[in-house]
Amino acid sequence: MTGRLASGSERALILAPLGRDAQVAAAILQEAGLEGVVCRDLPCLVSELDDGAGVALIVEESLLEQDYVSLARWIDEQPSWSDFPIVVLSRRGGGLERNPAAGRISQALGNVTFLERPFHPTTLVSVIETALRGRRRQYEARERIDAIRTAEAHFRTLAENIPILCWMAGPDGSVFWYNPRWYEYTGVDHPTLAGWGWAAVLDPASILAVESRWRHSLATGEPFEMTFPIRGADGVYRPFLTRVTPLRDEAGKIVRWFGTNTDVSRQLQDQERLRLMVNELNHRVKNTLATVQSIIALSLRGVAVPGPVRETLTNRILALSKAHDVLTDEQWSGADLREIVQQAAEPYQTEGDARFRLGGPPVRLPPRTAIAIALALHELTTNAAKYGALSTAAGRVDLHWDLQEEDGATRLRLSWRESGGPPVEPPRRTGFGTRLIERGLSADLQGKVTIEYRPEGVVCEIEASIPPDLGPPTLDDFLIPLARSSRAAPVS
């Protein structure tokens, strides 16, 4: 607290029942801008103390002539933050060495300053102001103590009722407090866990690693994060994600550490189940694609269907299968664009003859976008190998991509440019491959795809929206875009 305190908290209580001493002292203090309250006797003084005061000014005679037990009791019953100042006006020559009563008064009343009479008025004002400054610091300490107690009460209410385990340690890493969840889970009492006793409930196989990481954090001040098993009261070790954060003072010095332990056994089990589910779905998708390929082969057997049509259908299914392989390796969390591009270009690359010139930043694609781009690249490379740049030895394909921020969203721009091949003429009719790229896959990419048949070579521009957070795969990520695209762009 700064400035003047609450009303009455800086009052100077004056006890000088004989003569005009009290009136003179009050007048001196009033002239200095200080509030003085005259008390007729000790009971009146003690009563005024209960209403709040900053200092008491008492003539020594009143203490010698009256029983000041009630005042001493009030002094003894002060709260821990308080050390009430008292100024005693003593007789000339009444120093402690020649006045045994002064020693008894000092011992009984504690924070006592003796001022010998006669004194100059400025001396009295100076002594009173010094006492009041000390009293202000006591009030400030009280406010800080109250704030700390309130914050601690709020913290303990929160920490003792949250469902996770939490604890606090000193700067040296010695734990001095655990919340009730810790004792409930471990079934171990406080003396056993105090200090570094927590090691007793850790998986023996992980103790050395945990202690090494913990000592590293203590030495560097870095936050601690690690997952390791902790034994429960039932004897079962369960994995807990442990995070520990240093708490620092105004100078930046670590004064304590606050740690939490969160049971992640359910999350790890869910992740394992999801992994098994993804593997099973991948297996079934591969089997389904193989079945579709067999059905197509059987359906076209004995039917007058040109060989290129058979080959195109088979290759599209294989392209879809390869895209699924890339996603399988990444547990369907996404795929790297460069890997998909290199997979599409690989059949047309020969050692020492780079038919593709590739370039672009690292881009992580969500599953649906990865499959859509893989199918688009398959159609482009197939057409280029039949009619375009990849059909001649001198032909080349420039395939570049970049990322751009638009209205807070990330957009992928991929450019396919052919050169060095035979002159290109626009097709007389739009084939299924073109419709697949321009119409169906545009929806899956949440963007647009345009194809230009320039004389010097085909140019395809692909724009796709990249979500900020891929997140875990969903069942919708396992849908085959080709099925939806076929419905969106029927063959005419």
pLDDT tens readout for residues 157-208:
776 777 789 889 999 999 988 888 888 899 887 777 788 888 889 999 999 9
Residue scoring higher pLDDT (173 or 291): 173
Q: What is the mean pLDDT of residues 349-358?
A: 75
* Residue in this structure with the two tokens 């099925």, named with its chain if needed: 483
Element (H or E) spanning 418, and its range? Answer: strand 409-419
Q: Is the confidence at residue 436, as pLDDT, over 50?
A: yes
pLDDT given at position 341? 87
The string of DSSP codes covering 317-382 is HHHHHHHHHHHHHTTTS-EEHHHHHHHHHGGG-BTTB--EEEE----EEPHHHHHHHHHHHHHHHH
pLDDT given at position 4? 38
Q: Reduced to 3 states, what is the DSSP secondary structure of residue 67?
A: coil
pLDDT given at position 477? 46
Q: Is the confidence at residue 359, as pLDDT, over 70?
A: yes
Burial of 304 (0-12, 13-18, 19+ CB in 10 A): exposed
Query: With bands split at pLDDT 50, 70 and 90, how would you rate the model's confidence at 455?
Result: very high
Mean pLDDT in the chain?
A: 80
Q: Is the confidence at residue 253, as pLDDT, over 70?
A: yes
Angle between the 307-329 and 337-345 helix axes, to the nearest 10 degrees?
Answer: 150
pLDDT given at position 304? 66
pLDDT given at position 309? 64
pLDDT given at position 483? 37
- Residue 83 makes CB contacts below 8 A (sequence gap 6+) with 110, 111, 134, 138
Global pTM reads 0.44
Tell me, what DSSP letter sits at residue 223?
-
- Residue 163 makes CB contacts below 8 A (sequence gap 6+) with 181
The predicted-structure confidence for 56-106, as pLDDT tens digits, reads as follows: 999 888 887 778 888 999 999 888 888 899 998 887 655 556 667 777 888
